[in-house]
Chain A
């Protein structure tokens, strides 16, 4: 698919989300910010799957949730089909939510254990007044169950009677109920066994075709993201490190972090593994409470240069503070690294 000319469905501009850290018991005082998402911009085109990868704590889940206004952004804008979501009131926002849905990571925690599968799947229909009678409701629920590969008679059962993979299918059916055009899939397969992961990924792909869905697919498994995405955003510590088309990113990763991430993924083949060069990153991901100055990746970066990357002694240079801009190095390929 040529994403260049395709219509923009979601436009995220300079999105920032800080979570305050407070101290004190009676008089809570803000003492610091967790910079979960720090100035992130990207676009999602209609009909595409945008993959978002990064390690835990890099802000990928927060991006998804802030986009849907489940968190109020600290600053920045999110346009959905041209409407700025941050200007909407609660009522208007609820109307918009019909078109944007979410599938959650944890198939155990995201379903109410006291509701039957049918009521879970159908609840959005009631909330959005999309069903007129009990009979219609039942038909709609049964159709949704069938669409995601569950038997209609299972609607009577409760979540504990389902396996992890089946529960995740219920989560998918619930997201589909209101016929959204955009779904944020937040690590939808991470909690599932490998043989079941493939079933769910295939299901998501079939549904995308059938209902013309647009996905933001948040995951940490790079092989899965490569399989399902058209374009991929790599995040590190609240910032975007690289954006590129799927093939371009895997064949020609430019950011040193992307390169390390790709080389760290073990490949299920002993012959390949025996000969593969591996970049093992030193150290841990720093805390988003105190992100490093300059490029956030510089303390772990194998090609770090003092001055250029951490903003030391660079008066008059364009990136005086050392924070690399996300620049387009070839059509559609953006990277935030001064060494590229």
Chain B
């Protein structure tokens, strides 16, 4: 399969009065055509910032300090703002976590849905409305034509997220970035939205980048997974490998700390002790060292590189070779 997106050494820093926050600290990954890629990590690990950097939506005091992002042959970090506007929303679209706040409350759904196709595809009003109706139909909102006149507050949370997906899909993008698409929704609605995204991806050949903290969501829908911690990717592999044979202590800790519905009850959960580090004052060496049960001397002085542990599976840990399925449960 051809590569749709290739990110090399992307770094985005925020220059705050307290110091420089290295939100994304030199990450590289790629995405193949038609693939669903998961980006997993906890709040503050840089997963959203990495996606916003890709869309060139970083605002002051943030700045993309280095890196390239080759999307469909073009380095989107290195094109002019007006060229970026042609790509954003057309070839690369994004849906956000908060369906309540990411729609404009004073514009009708119809206005918001037709805007993108009028702008990017040059549709006239009539064509745009037909397309908007078709889009609503596609995401499972019945009576689309009449609902175009409705305002966001007339839709429920799940319905609003469907509208967001319809907006993002309006120009048949090559890449759909979904930032925590289901976090604000109830479980039964979550399932609906995820199934919808998967179906649309298959039907239209759209690649998906799903950003989430929910390990369950990624397990079902992602082909490959990147795990982030403190601004860096610390493990990457197929979803199957990451879940069955995790090689980074953080991934192991994450998998161990969630109770699972399909497993017998545990007496105690196994949490990751401590707190994530302050991104302004990152410790020397591996950022996870202070919370890590497998740490060795070297971890205090050197930052481990992301190295291949088996075919297509990489981990940034000095003891990765000793970890894996056997380390699960002892995390």
Name A residues whose Cβ lies closer than 8 Å to a Cβ of B.
55-56, 163, 165-166, 193-199, 201-202, 205, 220, 222-224, 226-227, 250, 260-262, 264-274, 278, 280-282, 284-285
Contacts and interface: CB of A to CB of B under 8 A. Distances in A.
A198 to B, nearest CB: 3
A269 to B, nearest CB: 5
Contact of A265 (B187, B240, B257, B275): B187
Interface string B171-208: 00000000000000011111110110000000000000
B260 interface: yes
B260 A268 contact: yes
A165 B187 contact: no
A304 to B, nearest CB: 16
B258 A193 contact: no
B158 A284 contact: yes
B265 interface: yes
Given A202-B268, A226-B259, A271-B240, A55 B187 contact: yes
B261 A262 contact: yes
Given A195-B254, A227-B265, 20 more contacts: A55-B188, A55-B189, A198-B257, A198-B270, A199-B272, A202-B269, A205-B268, A223-B260, A226-B259, A261-B187, A266-B216, A266-B219, A266-B220, A267-B261, A268-B243, A269-B262, A270-B219, A273-B220, A280-B188, A280-B195
Interface of A is mostly: helix
22 contacts: A166-B275, A194-B215, A197-B257, A199-B271, A199-B272, A199-B273, A223-B260, A226-B259, A260-B188, A264-B190, A265-B261, A266-B216, A266-B219, A266-B220, A267-B216, A267-B261, A269-B262, A271-B243, A280-B191, A282-B192, A284-B156, A285-B186
A125 to B, nearest CB: 28
A5 B141 CA distance: 51
B217 interface: yes
Contacts of B158: 284
Contacts of A266: 190-191, 194, 214, 216-217, 219-220
Interface string B239-280: 110011000000001110111111001101111110110000
Contact of A261 (B188, B213, B260, B265): B188
Closest 3 CB pairs of A and B: A266-B216, A198-B271, A55-B186
B149 interface: no
B161 to A, nearest CB: 11
Given A268-B243, A268-B255, A195 B214 contact: no
Interface of B: 42-43, 156, 158-159, 186-192, 194-195, 213-220, 239-240, 243-244, 253-255, 257-262, 265-266, 268-273, 275-276
